[in-house]
Structure formats: structure tokens, C-alpha cells
Homo-oligomer: A and B are copies of this chain.
Amino acid sequence: MDKRIATLAEAVAGIEDGAVVMIGGFGGSGAPIELIHALIDRFIATGSPKNLTVVNNNAGNGHVGLAALIEQGMVAKLICSFPRSADPKVFTELYLAGKIALELVPQGTLAERIRAGGAGIPAFYTPTSYGTDLAQGKPVEEFDGRPYVRERWLKADVALIKAELGDHHGNLTFRMAARNFNPLMAMAAARTIAQVSHAVEPGGIEPEQVITPGIFVQGIVEVPAPAQEEALNRANAHYPEVTA
């Protein structure tokens, strides 16, 4: 078994127009910048994929990664908890112009809905959002005298995630807090592609230290020394590069 994919272009080749795409990361930490940029390259070259529904905690920052994907007009709808940040201008402008749809989900509910999608749990109850605008239209039920809101699972056609080590079976580890949504999204997508900073042979990760077992991963692509969104933004980077 060898799930390695040779190039970023191949890794994102199968993503279709209209796909639901989960993108890992919390802000820039754990964001698969190189996979996102490969998707942008494909769009610029071919006009596809477009009309995507993207699931991410945020709405991107600056003009790289997710923000760049949105800036290209590839995203029709965003499902996220916090589309505000230091420089979310790209999303804000499209949103206020009515050009991108937003489904706002509390962060813990977002995480649990994704896990539920991965775990075959079609719906669950949570106290979160009870009595608030975000519970509107959702079934409410009392358990042990306390009201809870019913939430549905969230699944995706593709997950693009970022990991630290990845072996040929797709077993993954994550670097520090870059773990965040990545292991959950790996579970919830029909096809999960992980960019890994170091591809290793099977056995290169201690079985007890595997965070995402390979069964949740369909392909890995090695991206040594990946870019960090925060660093790119501090350098005012744009993707694709703005040529004067």
C-alpha cells in the first residue's frame, strides 16, 4: 500500500465543481497552504473547480491560502465559525456584496458535526446555541430537564489537510496546535488528501503515536518546509503573485 501522490497538482486533480471541501487549520496554523494554492493554479489554468462549498473555522487572512481561494471567486459558500480576523477583507467584501453565502456555526458544534460525519452519527444534541439566533429552525428537545439543540453531521467530498509526518499508509501526526480540525476533517471526507512535511516509510511513526490512522486518508503529498500563513501575511504576500 502506498498512498503517496507525486505532485500537488495531481493531489488536487479530482476535485469537481460544486464539491464540498473541508480545509484544515485554525487561522494559519495547520492550514494546507500549498494544497490550496495548487487548487488555485488548477482553477486559473482550467476554470475549475468552482462553486465550492468550503468548511473551515475561519475565512482566511490576507491574500494567501483560503483568502486567496475566496478571492479567486472559487467559493460559493463558506461554513465556518469565525469569518472575522485581522485582514478578512476578501471575504468581507464578497459577503457584504452578496456574492458568497455563509453558514455560521459555533466552533464546538462545527467540530462535533464534522466528527459526527466521520463517525456515522447523523445527528446529535448539544446545549450550544440553545435560545440563540443560531438555533433557529433546529429541533429542540429536553433531556434530564435541560434543553438541547439537534445538529446534523457534516460530510465532505474532499478534505485538504496538513500534517507533520505521514507514512505510506496515510498514518499521520500533527505539529503542536496545528492539529486542530485536521484529524476530524480527515474522518469526514470521502477523499482526504494530506500534505505532509515529512513522508516516512510504514513503521516510521510509532503505532501509539499515530493521531490520524491511515484508514481516514486517501492520499499524501510531501511538502517539505511548508509556508506559514502568518509569515506570508507579514510579508504581505499575494497568491498568485501580483506582478507589477
Binding site for B on A (CB under 8 A): 112, 116, 119-127, 141, 143-144, 146, 148, 152, 173-176, 179, 207-209, 211
Chain B residues with CB under 8 Å of A148's CB are 122-123
Asked whether A116 lies within 8 Å of B122 as measured between CB atoms, the reply is no
Task: Name A119's closest neighbour in chain B (CB-CB).
Answer: B112
Chain B residues with CB under 8 Å of A122's CB are 125, 143-144, 146, 148
Known pairs A143-B152, A152-B143; A173 contacts B208 (CB<8 A): yes
CB within 8 A of A124: which of B125, B144, B146, B208?
B125
Asked whether B209 lies within 8 Å of A209 as measured between CB atoms, the reply is yes
Asked whether B123 lies within 8 Å of A143 as measured between CB atoms, the reply is yes
Chain B residues with CB under 8 Å of A208's CB are 173-176, 179, 209, 211
Task: Name A126's closest neighbour in chain B (CB-CB).
Answer: B121
Identify the 8 closest CB pairs spanning chains A and B, nearest first.
A122-B143, A124-B124, A123-B125, A121-B124, A122-B125, A209-B209, A122-B148, A123-B143
